[in-house]
């Protein structure tokens, strides 16, 4: 029975390996130690704590996910669609039965820092605790104090609707073993306090990389410092790279324009649309000039002015660039392409030129300039597809109370028409962008933002 003994040994070895793996997963999911909670010393301090908490909750964009349109703020219920299924954001109001009423500040800190709920369940990382884990305990406590001060709303949490195996706690534990460790924000002593404040806001509360980075097949980013841009799953908007001045890097933007963009939704150099407009409306517009300036300072350091890729000639330039895109376009000079371009020009004249101008110059403060606009040249062209199909208004903010809007063309232009208009935009006024195919338009039109 030699074979029988060998099999028994193999089974035993396998069982030991499985146990070891499980033990490793459990060990890698262990909580980081709790820091003691500071206690406000008097009434003034308590009031300051609430004000600071509200400010930080806004900086954390908590409202966007934890509120359903038309429903009480922070009472949860909004469905967050992910490639793995739907996660429903829970009720953050202090209702005892359905919200945070029974939570302590230690419980709240454990959720933010360790990604673990009050009942010790592991939390899904749609809740951006891989970012929030680096929050300072004092900030988390202020946020908790503010949430506890809200009117309690009785609204039961909806269960998540995730596909198998992602709905299994073991799968989540393995995910966390692979991609999550509790962390702390490290101050870079070589940099200014302003830069460090900006880094803290971008990496922790702002959780900018939740959109502005590529996710692997498991839905994980390379970490809070990865801001190299990525297509947002499901929504299909492209969150451009913050490290590349040819995309959304601000290395060659004056601070004042970055501040204007994040505080008002519009600036002389660009405006927000889609998911970023929501971020401005619900979060960044409420930040102080000092904090937005700090974020600008940090973001500028990600994309030094010299790193601007040579993808875009100056406005009206001759397009002497040598990118891959330009090569693709040069190869497409067939009779068909030329007919398509004529049709694109015709559609532009009919539908776009009245506002954006024959010369693509737009109207300052109202309609974006399209000539020399890096948003027009982004690859993939997903955002342009959404803009043309859905139209939109920049968000109403304190600094832009009556925004100018663009009509939706989803019922007017076919995917083929949109491809031709986009190809026209990207090859006009000295620009040398790759043509956009009907297939690409069909692929990116996807789901609307909500």
Q: Which residues bind other proteins (CB under 8 A)?
A: 63, 67-74, 277-278, 281-282, 350-351, 354-355, 363, 366, 390-396, 401-412, 448-450
CB of 288 to other proteins, least distance (A): 18
3 state SS for 108-167: HHHHHHHCECCCCCECCCCCCHHHHCCCCHHHHHHHHHHHHHCCCCCCCCCCCEECCCCC
Q: DSSP letter at 151? A: P
CB of 414 to other proteins, least distance (A): 8
Q: Compute φ and ψ for 308, nearest 5 degrees.
A: -60, 120
Spatial separation of the C-alpha atoms in residues 112 and 132, rounded to whole Å: 5
CB of 69 to other proteins, least distance (A): 5
What's the chain's Rg over C-alpha atoms? 25
Spatial separation of the C-alpha atoms in residues 293 and 192, rounded to whole Å: 13
User: Cβ closer to other proteins: 392 or 430?
Assistant: 392
CB of 90 to other proteins, least distance (A): 16
Do 194 and 49 meet the contact criterion of CB atoms below 8 Å apart? no
Do 307 and 251 meet the contact criterion of CB atoms below 8 Å apart? yes
User: Cβ closer to other proteins: 316 or 362?
Assistant: 362
Q: DSSP letter at 209? A: G
CB of 235 to other proteins, least distance (A): 12
Spatial separation of the C-alpha atoms in residues 157 and 162, rounded to whole Å: 15
User: Cβ closer to other proteins: 308 or 351?
Assistant: 351
Do 110 and 33 meet the contact criterion of CB atoms below 8 Å apart? no
Spatial separation of the C-alpha atoms in residues 15 and 362, rounded to whole Å: 68
User: Cβ closer to other proteins: 53 or 395?
Assistant: 395
CB of 64 to other proteins, least distance (A): 8
Q: Which two tokens stand for residue 376?
A: 């027009």
User: Cβ closer to other proteins: 84 or 286?
Assistant: 286
User: Cβ closer to other proteins: 336 or 411?
Assistant: 411
What lies within 8 Å, CB to CB, of 150 at 6+ separation is: 73, 74, 92, 93, 94
User: Cβ closer to other proteins: 68 or 252?
Assistant: 68
Q: Which residues pair with 85 in a beta bridge?
A: 82, 162
CB of 432 to other proteins, least distance (A): 28
Cβ atoms within 10 Å of 286's Cβ, excluding its own: 19
User: Cβ closer to other proteins: 195 or 238?
Assistant: 238
User: Cβ closer to other proteins: 322 or 414?
Assistant: 414
Q: Residue written as tokens 């499980």?
A: 22
CB of 393 to other proteins, least distance (A): 6
User: Cβ closer to other proteins: 65 or 210?
Assistant: 65
Spatial separation of the C-alpha atoms in residues 376 and 348, rounded to whole Å: 14
Work out whether strand 79-82 and strand 266-267 pair parallel, antiparallel, or are unpaired: unpaired
Which H helix or E strand runs over 80?
A: strand 79-82
CB of 355 to other proteins, least distance (A): 6
Q: How far is the CA of 320 from the CAs of 138, 247, 327, in angstroms?
A: 53, 19, 11
CB of 260 to other proteins, least distance (A): 17
Spatial separation of the C-alpha atoms in residues 222 and 216, rounded to whole Å: 8
């Amino acid at each position: 029975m030699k074979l029988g003994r060998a099999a028994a040994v193999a089974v035993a070895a396998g069982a030991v390996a499985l146990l070891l793996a499980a033990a490793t997963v459990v060990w890698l999911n262990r909580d980081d130690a709790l820091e003691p909670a500071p206690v406000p010393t008097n009434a003034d301090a308590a009031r300051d704590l609430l004000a600071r908490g509200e400010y930080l909750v806004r900086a954390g964009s908590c409202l966007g996910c934890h509120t359903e349109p038309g429903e009480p703020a922070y009472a949860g219920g909004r469905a967050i669609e992910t490639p793995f299924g739907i996660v429903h954001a829970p009720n953050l109001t202090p209702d005892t039965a359905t919200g945070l009423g029974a939570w302590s500040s230690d419980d709240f800190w454990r959720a933010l820092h360790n990604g673990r709920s009050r009942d010790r369940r592991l939390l899904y990382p749609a809740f951006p605790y891989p970012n929030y884990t680096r929050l300072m305990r004092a900030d988390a406590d202020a946020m908790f104090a503010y949430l506890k001060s809200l009117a309690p709303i009785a609204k039961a949490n909806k269960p998540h609707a995730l596909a198998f195996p992602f709905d299994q706690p073991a799968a989540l534990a393995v995910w966390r073993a692979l991609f999550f460790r509790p962390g702390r924000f490290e101050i870079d002593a070589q940099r200014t306090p302003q830069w460090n404040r900006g880094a803290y806001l971008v990496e922790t509360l702002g959780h900018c990389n939740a959109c502005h980075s590529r996710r692997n097949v498991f839905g994980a980013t390379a970490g809070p410092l990865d801001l190299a841009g990525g297509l947002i799953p499901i929504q299909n908007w492209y969150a451009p790279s913050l490290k590349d001045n040819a995309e959304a890097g601000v290395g060659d933007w004056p601070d004042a324009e970055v501040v204007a963009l994040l505080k008002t939704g519009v600036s002389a150099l660009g405006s927000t649309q889609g998911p970023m407009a929501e971020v401005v409306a619900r979060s960044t517009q409420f930040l102080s000039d000092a904090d937005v300036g700090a974020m600008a300072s940090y973001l500028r350091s990600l994309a030094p002015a010299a790193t601007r890729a040579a993808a875009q000639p100056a406005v009206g330039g001759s397009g002497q660039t040598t990118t891959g895109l330009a090569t693709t376009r040069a190869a497409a000079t067939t009779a068909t392409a030329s007919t398509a371009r004529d049709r694109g020009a015709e559609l532009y004249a009919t539908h776009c030129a009245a506002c954006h101008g024959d010369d693509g110059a737009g109207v300052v403060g109202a309609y974006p300039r399209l000539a020399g606009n890096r948003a027009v040249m982004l690859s993939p062209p997903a955002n342009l597809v959404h803009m043309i199909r859905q139209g939109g208004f920049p968000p109403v903010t304190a600094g832009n109370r009556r925004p100018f809007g663009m009509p939706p063309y989803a019922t007017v232009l076919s995917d083929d028409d949109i491809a031709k208009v986009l190809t026209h935009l990207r090859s006009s006024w000295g620009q040398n962008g790759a043509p956009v195919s009907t297939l690409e338009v069909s692929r990116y039109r996807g789901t609307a933002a909500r």
